[in-house]
Structure 1
Amino acid sequence: MAFEITEYEAANAIQVTNSEEKHSTQPQPQPQTTVEETHGETEISVDVYPKFDEMSTGRVALILVGLGVACFLFAIEQTIVATSTAGIGEALNVKGSLTWITTSYLLTTCAFLPITGRLADAIGARLLLIIDVWIFIIGNLIAGLAKNLTQLVAGRLLSGVGGAGILTLAIIVISHLTHEKQRGNYFTLVNIVYTFADAMGPIVGGAFTRTGNWRWIFLFNAPFGPVITVILLKILKLPNPHASSSKSRYWRTTLQRLDILGMLMLIATLTFLVIALNTGGQSLPWNSSVIIGLLCASSVSFAGFLLVEKWAKMPIAPLHLFSKWEWRNVPIIVLSRTLLFFHLFALSFYLPLFLQVIGISPINASALIIPFLSTAATASTICNYLTAKYGYMTSSYTISNAVLSAAMGLLSTLRGNSSIARIVGYSLLAGAGFGCGTQTTVVIAQIGIPRDLLSTVTALVSTVASLGGVLGVAIIGTITQNTFKHHLSPAILAIPNVNVNDAVILVRDNPQIRAEVIEAYIQAWRIGCRTLAGIAAAQIILGLGLREVSLTGKHVKVEKKVDQNC
């Protein structure tokens, strides 16, 4: 059956999870009571979070600036070293592989992201955000002052721990301060900042490196720390989850609430997985004992995580969200969003490489990823506006994936003589399809979720973006690598360490084999894009199982089927 929540009730997040009875309220400035079901038990809590609607425009603007700057710093660190690793390696006199300069940050970011939601519930989102910002900045200071590769990687690992919480906590804070119907519009602002930072990263990093100031790639973050901290302390006022407790009781209660064993098991799971995916097919073959051992360790850790979560009092990933039919939007969106971010990271990495192989300069190749990223941000803004006005979120989800699948199919037709206009046109279409799905998927997963699980669900949905990036680059990289080698002659394969990522060097340094290498890479690019088109089509199929969610007129409408056995 379906239930409807009036606009005012949706604004105050009144949710009844164990009854079909409707409760009406009158607008009052007092906190609103929320009736929620947690693990089969009904508890009554008070929604004391202030809303943007109740704040002055200046205060809202300052909060968004503080959160936006923090998100910008987190996002730009993901791509700022993309064009700078060679210069950094030369400056530090590093002779070996430089891949850990980029992957170390992603490793800890991906590993620590899932636990952010429960930590925020336990100690408060504002306090945790301030802590994460300073961990992030200290890590970057260590990297910026590093004398060798080990110190640099250590700093990147630490900054990833802090960065893991910044984006998720910004989304959690916005979720608490907004109503469901307006939430997507504010998420769009975060998405624009994130996309702009991703696009600017390689440009800024390259500029610092070319001028001999590569250390400022990491050090430029430091001045923003005090600014963000002041805004969060003075302007952002959020309820303390243990305001009535003494300090000793507060920390004792916090430790009791935290699912520490579950956190450790999940961190181990993702750490083993990310290391395996970033090493397999690159430094080591996929069938090596090290890679197989890492994947087995990840599987065992994940099995242990599921066992721990079954008995945890405050689990990181409440299993009932993944096992009850009425909460099916959460697991479907987690899987679909993982697949969605295959496209962002795979295109950001392989499109500039493809363009360089076919003869476009490195600077122009890097710039040609901007149409995809900028259109993604624009499409997200337009899509969220239209969804808030007309509703039909699940329909928007389906259309965006159809556009993305078509765009990836068109990109697979690019060849060595393709015009810039054609490349940009297909990239714009891909950006439109990707952008429409980025924040819509977050809102679909959140709507109808009890408030005590909102932070947890937000963290889980945010986590899979980074995980999708790791999986996307690894899977598409493996496919393109195998296709690339399949189309090369034995004479070229005899060259030591022939790799799809070295195609640009092969073309530049070996004019006699240039044509063959370019053709082999075009075939690899074609198969990779067709794979991504198929993945987008799989997202459409997944969407068929979504619970219908629409924001129509003055109502938030969510299909709800009550299982009497639950």
Structure 2
Amino acid sequence: MRLEDGSDPETDTSRELGPPEFTHEFLHGLRLLLVTGGLTLVMFLGMMDISIIATAIPQITSDFHRLEHVGWYIGVYSLCSAALQPLSGKVFTYFSTKWSFLSFFFIFEVGSCISGAAVSSEMLIGGRAIAGLGYSGVTNGALTIIASAIAPPKRPCMFFPRDGCANRTLTVSQIGMILGPILGGVFTEFVSWRWCFYINLPLGAFTAVCLVFIDIPDQVRKEPVSFELVRRLLPRFDLVGFALFAPAAVMGLLALQFGASTYGWSSPVVIGLFCGCAGAAALFVAWEHRMKDDAMMPFDVIRRTAVWSCSINFSGIMSLAVVAGNYMPIYFQSVRGLSPAMSGVYMLVSTASNILFILISGALMTRFRYPMPWSMASGALGAVACGLMSTWAPGSTLAAVFGYQVLNGARGLGMQQPILVVQHVLPAGKIAVGNSLMVFFSNSATAVMVTIGNVIFQESLVAELAARAPSVSPAAAIAAGGSAEAVRALAIASGADVESLLLAYSLSVNRVFYLLAGICVVVFVSAFGIGWVDLGHKDKKDEEKV
């Protein structure tokens, strides 16, 4: 795209009025308070939307008789969010950051409304898909607004005690992860699981009011919106790349889902889907290479070691949080017999310790500003925690249940580091794209890992039922869902031993934690690629490499 004087806003550095942290007006006072407050609430809703459904899923699967859809309730949300992540980066690069953000947030709210009103499992999945499309621009937009509206020294939450604002947005929003399971359990038990989604509507309206009347600065100069601008930008949005990526992702997840439940792994349908996924993915990579700077995933950004290492690292951390949050409630409700509300209380330990570790790493980084050791510690401690959680059994002590969750919260040591590094090593004109790439890989990995976790759980449950409770039909177990009452009713209806049935469910959940332990190893190894980046010093020569 060329501006009126013939320059290109992505390559002409004269259009960036010097380094962004020193040349455009940052927000202060009441405007900064309202913007950070609104962004915190948005991120709160996004994090809560991921975790709030966790304690509701066992009841949802029982209401709709679709235990096999466990992976889709979260997976389709992450998949659709990932599909539009690169396009959202383009949107924030060329159009107003504020109005682009509010547009994506509106779509998120529409999806929440549909999910709450769902009358079938398929309708719920559709609503989650729409919400995911909207959320694709919410996280990226919030990070982009932080980068453009808040001075760099105030961004890292390592300065949280001293400056009192900035990336507290990331930290405080984690409260959504804490309250999500509790609220989901309370709504499910005392009102309806539908309020897990309806709650986004009034809180979202308040957020829109906080942001709509404030002038949020853009990092680079942008043209006013017009039909001519849209016409000239369409080639740069790489719609062909999107058309290749979307079917590749959908075919891959459908193959995993159908192979585990409907058709079997040797089915021509499943094999055809895997082949179609591989072919579309290969075409997508070839097309992206051809498009260069106009690609959904620009190679000049992603080839940087710090960027792709941070993307892998962040993907692992988020996959760990989401998959563990998806299957811990099944253990608490199906195996231990807890109510939805009490399972949320039990999960409070994991999410609260996660925030505690985020704050600890933030406070200590005021003196030690290198992120790599924190990311390494996150992966190492997470692997130990997941290994210990894989030993949970129906009779595990509360000390083991709570203690292992505290250790699992150590992933918070490395949660903010990839975000800060990507924003640090990229110039202003590339930050939105860098953010979108990192979140793109994170959501893609989360969708895949949730689906793989569901495959592992279902395959293990079928095998364990055959070995320990052969009178229980696997089809009946899948149709029963995961609530405490439904699982125990299976034993009564089939005459099976309750303890053997619960052990089958427990061992199936344990195998999901084997997967998470492996993901933590990937987090540890990827931390080496981040390198010894000093967040207190921005190297201009390093920027020019992009």
TM-score (norm 2): 0.82
2:61–2:482 Cα contact (<8 Å) kept: no
Sequence identity (%): 21
Q: Secondary structure at the match of 1:389?
A: coil
1:506–1:514 Cα contact (<8 Å) kept: no
Segments of structure 1 that go 5 or more residues without pairing to the other structure are 1-35
Determine which of 240, 244, 265 is the counterpart of 1:265: 244
2:108–2:134 Cα contact (<8 Å) kept: yes
Determine which of 276, 295, 298 is the counterpart of 1:315: 295
Give the superposition deviation at 1:85. Answer: 5.8
1:124–1:240 Cα contact (<8 Å) kept: no
Give the superposition deviation at 1:329. Answer: 1.3
Query: Structure 2 matches for 1:309-388, cutoff 5 A?
Result: 309-312=288-291, 313-323=293-303, 327-362=304-339, 363-388=341-366
Give the superposition deviation at 1:328. Answer: 0.8
Deviations 1:421-470 (A, max 9, x none): 222111111102x1111111222233221222211111111233333322
Determine which of 93, 98, 101 is the counterpart of 1:129: 101
Distance 2:119 2:378 in 1: 47
Distance 2:383 2:62 in 1: 41
Distance 2:358 2:238 in 1: 35
2:102–2:208 Cα contact (<8 Å) kept: yes
2:263–2:270 Cα contact (<8 Å) kept: yes
Give the superposition deviation at 1:260. Answer: 2.0
Q: Secondary structure at the match of 2:497?
A: helix
Counterpart of 1:463 in structure 2 is 440
Query: Structure 2 matches for 1:35-114, cutoff 5 A?
Result: 43-47=13-17, 54-84=26-56, 99=70, 103-114=75-86
Query: Structure 2 matches for 1:39-438, cutoff 5 A?
Result: 43-47=13-17, 54-84=26-56, 99=70, 103-145=75-117, 152-185=124-157, 188-211=167-190, 215-239=194-218, 243=222, 247-312=226-291, 313-323=293-303, 327-362=304-339, 363-432=341-410, 434-438=411-415
**Alpha carbons of structure 1 residues 238 and 102: separation in structure 2 relative to 1, 3 Å:** same
Higher relative contact order (CA 8 A, sep 6+): 2
AA at the equivalent of 2:91: L
Distance 2:325 2:118 in 1: 28
**Alpha carbons of structure 1 residues 368 and 86: separation in structure 2 relative to 1, 3 Å:** closer
**Alpha carbons of structure 1 residues 184 and 544: separation in structure 2 relative to 1, 3 Å:** same
1:182–1:388 Cα contact (<8 Å) kept: no
1:122–1:257 Cα contact (<8 Å) kept: no
Determine which of 544, 548, 553 is the counterpart of 2:532: 548
Counterpart of 1:538 in structure 2 is 522
Counterpart of 2:3 in structure 1 is none
1:510 aligns with 2:487: no
Deviations 1:535-566 (A, max 9, x none): 323332233333321235xx347996999xx9
2:54–2:181 Cα contact (<8 Å) kept: yes
RMSD between superposed Cα atoms in Å = 3.7
Distance 2:188 2:511 in 1: 34
Give the superposition deviation at 1:120. Answer: 0.9
**Alpha carbons of structure 1 residues 240 and 50: separation in structure 2 relative to 1, 3 Å:** closer
**Alpha carbons of structure 1 residues 355 and 435: separation in structure 2 relative to 1, 3 Å:** same
Give the superposition deviation at 1:64. Answer: 0.9
Distance 1:130 1:346 in 2: 29
Distance 2:199 2:323 in 1: 28
Moved more, 116-125 or 282-291: 282-291
More strand by share: 1
Distance 2:122 2:233 in 1: 35
Distance 1:491 1:329 in 2: 48
Deviations 1:376-423 (A, max 9, x none): 122112212322432121122112222212222332333333221222
Give the superposition deviation at 1:225. Answer: 4.3
AA at the equivalent of 2:526: L
Segments of structure 2 that go 5 or more residues without pairing to the other structure are 1-7, 158-164
Determine which of 453, 458, 463 is the counterpart of 2:430: 453
Moved more, 177-186 or 161-170: 177-186
Q: Secondary structure at the match of 1:337?
A: helix
1:496 aligns with 2:473: yes
Distance 2:147 2:491 in 1: 54
**Alpha carbons of structure 1 residues 558 and 536: separation in structure 2 relative to 1, 3 Å:** farther
Deviations 1:37-69 (A, max 9, x none): 97xx67433248688994333221100111122
More helix by share: 2
Moved more, 228-237 or 159-168: 228-237
Q: Secondary structure at the match of 2:294?
A: coil
Distance 2:261 2:541 in 1: 46
| Matched residue count | 519
Counterpart of 2:160 in structure 1 is none
AA at the equivalent of 2:47: A
1:107–1:275 Cα contact (<8 Å) kept: no
Distance 1:89 1:526 in 2: 20
Distance 1:309 1:166 in 2: 24
Q: Secondary structure at the match of 1:459?
A: helix
Deviations 1:200-221 (A, max 9, x none): 3344344444455555443443
Q: Secondary structure at the match of 1:447?
A: helix
1:352–1:365 Cα contact (<8 Å) kept: yes
AA at the equivalent of 1:532: L
Moved more, 307-316 or 435-444: 307-316
**Alpha carbons of structure 1 residues 475 and 450: separation in structure 2 relative to 1, 3 Å:** same
AA at the equivalent of 2:450: V
Distance 1:158 1:195 in 2: 23
Distance 1:533 1:70 in 2: 30
**Alpha carbons of structure 1 residues 146 and 331: separation in structure 2 relative to 1, 3 Å:** closer
